[in-house]
Structure 1
Amino acid sequence: MEDFLIYLRLGFDHITDPGGYDHILFVIALCAVYTVQQWRQVLILVTAFTIGHSITLALATLQLIKYKTELIELLIPITILITAITNFFFRESKPRGPVISQSSTPIGRYILALSFGLIHGMGFSNYLRSLLGREAAIVQPLLAFNIGLELGQLVIVSLVLAVAYFLLDIVKSRRLRWVLIVSGVVAGMALSLIINNEYLHEFMQGK
């Protein structure tokens, strides 16, 4: 039980660590267009992301799939940038209309979260494999680590929705402005990660 709690804490700390803020940026971009009143939609969206990264986290940790770590580290900020860009097409709904209106259908956004979750899962597995080393029994650590990731993810989502509630429902800021500012900041930070990625530099130089 003690080992389970250790890996659970490691998973929680990994996704909430400001030093490795790429996963935090993705969750923020994913939830930026939603409000507290839309928590059901957010739950489905987060579940789609969870399913995606749980699949590849398990497969990669169990060494059932192989990939280039450097490529995944480049693809993760690309997923963040794409998600943030889709938010720019957000359109504020009318009071009597649906609670959210976007150029892409909701199912498309869920598929996006699921697909990008597959990429992030491989990123999570890099860290978990380094923790496990040559440890033989990895199923329990894998489960605990994944639960820790989800708890941390829920904390991030809760904070984003809480800030949105304060600004939109209490301060009465415009929802479109909130979405564009948050998404713009996230897109800028993701673009910086892409530009400074060593694998991209080597690829561009033909190495």
Structure 2
Amino acid sequence: MSEFWVYFQIGLHHVLDIQAYDHVLFMMALVLPFTFKDWKRLLFSVTLFTLGHTTALLLSVYEILVIKATIVELLIPITILTTAVFNLFTLGKTNRKENLNLVYLITLFFGIIHGLGFSNYFKTLLGGSSNSKLVPLLEFALGIEGAQITVVLAMLIVAYGVQSLFKFSRRDWILVGSAFIIGVVVPMIIENEIWNQ
């Protein structure tokens, strides 16, 4: 198997790993307010998240930015919670589109936080000289982007099905989805090992 496919598959697995579902939860929270007709804005948001994630890995691999793992492990569920709560507070508000630049900026920042969460493991996968780290990092980023697009498509299909077949309103879909995500991440925050230090 070529080196490209190795790192691409690691990127796919990083997002789609059942054991580490925080990445999928964030994508779910990000996608909830969108529909198929919003695909350009949604793709841009997902790509910004990947860019932030990759930037964090790059900074970490070259040891420009190093943050304690326990802090990052607390920040990751907080980013998910913040996104889900934002969905609830902007539910039905017409000025949501006006806040897109802020949403894009926050998505990029949250991508950096999520990237830092994976940086230690990714550094152990690499090895070799600093020159040999950039290409695997980009291959890994493509795997992440592919997996995220898969999650986004699955969420959009489920949203369409629930809203069409079961006559859920879009508002109810966002409300129930955000509440579910909040219910999953609050225990992650409460049980974080940082509180035991």
Output the TM-score relative to the length of structure 2: 0.91
Q: Is residue 128 of structure 2 the alignment partner of residue 135 of structure 1?
A: yes
Query: Corresponding residue for 1:42?
Result: 42
Q: Is residue 113 of structure 2 the alignment partner of residue 119 of structure 1?
A: yes
CA contact (8 A) 1:52 1:114 kept: yes
Deviation at 1:22, TM superposition (A): 0.7
Question: Structure 1 CA distance, aligned partners of 2:58 and 2:39?
Answer: 28
2:40 is matched by which residue type in structure 1?
R
CA contact (8 A) 1:72 1:122 kept: yes
1:177 is matched by which residue type in structure 2?
D
Deviation at 1:170, TM superposition (A): 4.0
Query: Corresponding residue for 2:91?
Result: 91
Question: Structure 2 CA distance, aligned partners of 1:63 and 1:4?
Answer: 24
- Higher normalized helix content (fraction of residues): 2
Moved more, 77-86 or 64-73: 64-73
Question: Structure 2 CA distance, aligned partners of 1:11 and 1:103?
Answer: 31
SS at match of 1:172: coil
Query: Corresponding residue for 1:176?
Result: 171
Deviation at 1:167, TM superposition (A): 1.6
Query: Corresponding residue for 2:70?
Result: 70
Q: When the two structures are aligned, how many residues end up with a matched partner? A: 195
Structure 2: gaps (5+ residues) = none
Query: Corresponding residue for 2:160?
Result: 165
Where in structure 2 are the equivalents of 1:194-205 lying within 5 Å? 194-202=189-197
CA contact (8 A) 1:168 1:175 kept: yes
Output the TM-score relative to the length of structure 1: 0.87
Query: Corresponding residue for 1:152?
Result: 147
Question: Structure 2 CA distance, aligned partners of 1:11 and 1:148?
Answer: 4
1:117 is matched by which residue type in structure 2?
G
Q: Is residue 24 of structure 2 the alignment partner of residue 24 of structure 1?
A: yes
Question: Structure 2 CA distance, aligned partners of 1:90 and 1:131?
Answer: 40
Question: Structure 2 CA distance, aligned partners of 1:160 and 1:90?
Answer: 20
1:2 is matched by which residue type in structure 2?
S
2:128 is matched by which residue type in structure 1?
E
Query: Corresponding residue for 2:182?
Result: 187
1:56 is matched by which residue type in structure 2?
A
Q: Cα–Cα, structure 1 residues 170 and 40, in superposed 2: closer, same or farther, change >3 Å? A: farther
Question: Structure 2 CA distance, aligned partners of 1:28 and 1:191?
Answer: 16
Question: Structure 2 CA distance, aligned partners of 1:145 and 1:126?
Answer: 14
Cα RMSD of the aligned pairs, angstroms, is 1.8
Question: Structure 2 CA distance, aligned partners of 1:178 and 1:81?
Answer: 17
CA contact (8 A) 1:12 1:151 kept: yes
2:30 is matched by which residue type in structure 1?
L
2:99 is matched by which residue type in structure 1?
T
1:147 is matched by which residue type in structure 2?
L
Deviation at 1:192, TM superposition (A): 0.9
**Cα shift readout 1:188-207 (whole Å, capped 9, x = no counterpart):** 111111111101332xxxxx
Question: Structure 1 CA distance, aligned partners of 2:97 and 2:87?
Answer: 9
Structure 1: gaps (5+ residues) = 94-99, 203-207
CA contact (8 A) 2:46 2:145 kept: no
